[in-house]
Structure 1
Amino acid sequence: MDGGVNLGNFLKNNNERDYWLDVCVRMAHHSTAIEGNTLSQDETASILLDGYIAKATSEREFYEVKNYRQILPKMFSSLQEKAKIDEKLIKDFHRLIMNNLIDNNGKFKTIENLVVGANFEPTKPYLVPVAIKDMCDNLYFRLDNAKNDDDKLKAILQSHIKFEKIHPFSDGNGRTGRIIMIYGCLENNLAPIIIPKEQKNRYIAILRNNDIDGFMAFAKEIEKDEISRRNKFLSQRPNEQDNSKSVLSRLGNAYAKKLESGAIKALNDTANSKEKER
Structure 2
Amino acid sequence: MIENIREYIEESNKIEGVHEEQAVENSLAAWQYLQGKERLTHEVIRQAHLRIMERRQPDIAGEYRDCRVYVGGHVPPEPEQVKQLMTELLGAANRPETPVDALRWHVRFEKIHPFADGNGRVGRMLYWWHCRQIGVTPILFRAMDREGYYGLFRGGDASAD
Q: Post-superposition shift, 1:178?
A: 0.3
Match of 2:114 in 1: 168
1:185/1:193 contact within 8 Å kept: no
Q: Post-superposition shift, 1:193?
A: 2.7
RMSD: 1.8
What is the TM-score normalised by the length of structure 1? 0.52
1:126 matches 2:109: no
1:204 matches 2:150: yes
- Structure 2 counterpart of 1:70, from 29, 32, 35: 29
Write out aligned runs for 1:124-163 (5 A).
124-140=78-94, 143=96, 146=97, 152-163=98-109
Q: Post-superposition shift, 1:69?
A: 2.7
Write out aligned runs for 1:53-64 (5 A).
61-64=20-23
Q: Post-superposition shift, 1:200?
A: 0.9
- Tell me the amino acid that sits aligned with residue 70 of structure 2: L
In the alignment, the residues of structure 1 paired with residue 126 and residue 63 of structure 2 have an alpha-carbon distance, to the nearest angstrom, of 16
- Tell me the amino acid that sits aligned with residue 53 of structure 2: M
Q: Post-superposition shift, 1:121?
A: 1.7
2:64/2:114 contact within 8 Å kept: yes
1:31/1:175 contact within 8 Å kept: yes
In the alignment, the residues of structure 1 paired with residue 31 and residue 16 of structure 2 have an alpha-carbon distance, to the nearest angstrom, of 20
Change (3 A) 1:110 1:195: same
Match of 1:100 in 2: 55
In the alignment, the residues of structure 1 paired with residue 47 and residue 93 of structure 2 have an alpha-carbon distance, to the nearest angstrom, of 19
2:31/2:125 contact within 8 Å kept: no
Residues 107-156 of structure 1: per-residue CA shift (max 9 Å, x gap): 0001111112x2x3211111111101111213445x3xx4xxxxx21111
Higher relative contact order (CA 8 A, sep 6+): 1
Residues 189-238 of structure 1: per-residue CA shift (max 9 Å, x gap): 1113321112111011121245xxxxxxxxxxxxxxxxxxxxxxxxxxxx
Task: Select the structure that is richer in helix.
Answer: 1
Change (3 A) 1:140 1:72: closer
What is the TM-score normalised by the length of structure 2? 0.87
- Structure 1 counterpart of 2:17, from 25, 30, 36: 36
Match of 2:159 in 1: none
Structure 1's consecutive aligned runs of 4 or more residues displaced over 4 angstroms after TM superposition are: none
Q: Post-superposition shift, 1:86?
A: 2.2
1:88 matches 2:43: yes
- Tell me the amino acid that sits aligned with residue 121 of structure 2: R
Stretches of structure 2 lacking an aligned partner (at least 5 in a row): 157-161
1:86/1:132 contact within 8 Å kept: no
Q: Post-superposition shift, 1:34?
A: 0.3
Stretches of structure 1 lacking an aligned partner (at least 5 in a row): 6-18, 40-60, 147-151, 211-278
Change (3 A) 1:171 1:140: same
In the alignment, the residues of structure 2 paired with residue 72 and residue 107 of structure 1 have an alpha-carbon distance, to the nearest angstrom, of 18
In the alignment, the residues of structure 2 paired with residue 163 and residue 30 of structure 1 have an alpha-carbon distance, to the nearest angstrom, of 19
Identity over the aligned pairs, expressed in percent? 25
Larger Rg: 1
1:98/1:105 contact within 8 Å kept: yes
